[in-house]
Structure 1
Amino acid sequence: MSNSWFRFKKFRIEQGGSAMKVGTDGVLLGAWCRIGPEQRRLLDVGTGTGLIALMAAQRLEACGAPDGFRVDALEVDGRSARQAEENVAAGPWPGAVRVIPRSLQDFAREYDGEGYDHIVSNPPYFVDSLRCPDPARSAARHADTLPYPDLAVCVGCLLAPGGIFSVILPPDGMERLTDLAAGEGLYPLRRTAVVPAPGLPVMRVLTEFGTEMAMPCEDTLAVSTADRSGFSEEYRRLTRDFYLKF
């Protein structure tokens, strides 16, 4: 059984009430996505426990966003949204992070504010696969509630001019989303293939999309060392601002 909490260097994540627990995908995306002081408005789609939203707030504060910043965190599952609200309230940035218990589709349909400088998402990605007995966890893992076409269209509507969209998916899912994103005028700027250890097949792909069509910068990140005895130095370097053990 997973722990009911997970301690990071600057905040604690309670996860007993959330459909999705703290995992490598979320930590990777929160640490990898490009954060800069020019980003005043950031949207986390499918925040779950609030992990990526809190990681983004930590990084925005550290880079000194001059006019302050706002992180909006969308979560359609009621239990997870309440858990995220509790984590945000107990963290260091309760005034800068707002949990919104809505689906991305409904939020985008009704949104009339400024566009977001950065949208991040660790979305559901299973398609036509075996269902989990827990309906909330199944919804969090399967793309039924947030199909790739909806994700691409909504991001295209909500992103500010010059904004970026960062996402993590399995390779096949990223291929589909990349094709759909092109239809919304969004193109890969940066791509990192994530492997469990050197020489093993790619398990996830991190991609940053923007409105410029260019040759993306590409690299590979191994989570573990070649002998699987521990985390790789590159993974430690990427996540050391967050993990206590690094």
Structure 2
Amino acid sequence: MGNPFFRFKQFEIWHDRCAMKVGTDGVLLGAWTDVSHSQNVLDIGTGSGLIALMIAQRCRAKVTGVEIDAEAAKQACENVALSPWKGRVSIRQADITAFEGGKYDTILSNPPYFREQVYCSDIQRNAARHTGTLTFEDLLDAVIRLLTDDGCFSVILPFEAAGYFIGSAAERHLYPMYRTNVQTRPGISPKRVLLTLSRNILPCKEDTLVIESEPRIYSPDFIQLVKDFYLAF
């Protein structure tokens, strides 16, 4: 059994009662998303509350984490209560498709359903029906409903899902502003994509983040991105 908690520089995350453990994907999204002008932030599928607390560390916004699983939501509440930002972070146990929490200028999501290697709408919808997970369409419909007119939505997803996801977003008038392709090491095909989308059609700024410059040696760009969180840096 793994360690039941993960210690960051300014907070701890207990995740032994959460299906989604602390991992690189969540840390990347929480560190990469631009929150310099955020005032009201929503983390969809917050799990242990990791991303919600990362955002609270980075800015002075009010942060809400929504989690459908009762045990994960309870543990996220406990993590928030132990953090320095308990006055600005709240956790709600709810199904995001029915969640009514007002409007948010920044929405993030690193949900478990993006792990599934099914990116055809019908196949994904059938899988969701049997597992209780969301489809891309469900998530995007929730974002459209909860995002302010000038707000931004950031997400991390498998590289091979990006085309389908961007197409589904465009059908709902959400368009990519920033895209970072994430490579484990130089010369290896990207495994993940970080995206920020908005309602505005703008030229998309695209770059690449390499996590390791060589095996077990983290790249300067990765260290710069996460140095405020990981104890190792």
TM-score between the two structures when normalised by the length of structure 1: 0.86
- What is residue 74 of structure 1 aligned with on the other side? 66
Q: Does 1:55 align with 2:57?
A: no
Equivalent of 2:220 in 195, 209, 233? 233
Equivalent of 1:223 in 206, 211, 229? 211
Structure 1 residue matching 2:215: 3-state secondary structure? coil
- List aligned pairs for 1:1-246, cutoff 5 A: 1-36=1-36, 38-61=37-60, 69-107=61-99, 111=100, 113=102, 115-123=103-111, 124-127=113-116, 144-225=132-213, 227-246=214-233
What letter is aligned with 1:181? A
Q: Is the 8 A contact 2:115 2:158 kept in 1?
A: no
Structure 2 residue matching 1:193: 3-state secondary structure? strand
Q: Is the 8 A contact 1:168 1:206 kept in 2?
A: yes
Instruction: Give the RMSD, CA atoms, in angstroms.
Output: 1.8
TM-score between the two structures when normalised by the length of structure 2: 0.91
Q: Is the 8 A contact 2:12 2:83 kept in 1?
A: yes
Greater Cα offset, 115-124 or 24-33: 115-124
Count of matched residue positions in the alignment of Structure 1 and Structure 2: 223
Gaps of 5+ in 2: 119-126
In 1, Cα distance between the equivalents of 2:131 and 2:49?
A: 19
Q: Is the 8 A contact 1:126 1:143 kept in 2?
A: no
In 2, Cα distance between the equivalents of 1:198 and 1:128?
A: 24
- By percentage of residues, which structure has more strand? 2
Structure 2 residue matching 1:106: 3-state secondary structure? coil
Cα drift, residue 229 of structure 1: 3.0
Cα drift, residue 143 of structure 1: 7.8
Q: Is the 8 A contact 1:19 1:79 kept in 2?
A: no
In 2, Cα distance between the equivalents of 1:200 and 1:9?
A: 30
What letter is aligned with 1:193? N
What letter is aligned with 1:95? G
CA displacement 1:148-200 (0-9 Å, x = unmatched): 01011110111001100000000222222211111111100000000100110
- Identity rate of aligned residues, in percent? 44
Q: Is the 8 A contact 1:190 1:209 kept in 2?
A: yes
Gaps of 5+ in 1: 62-68, 130-137
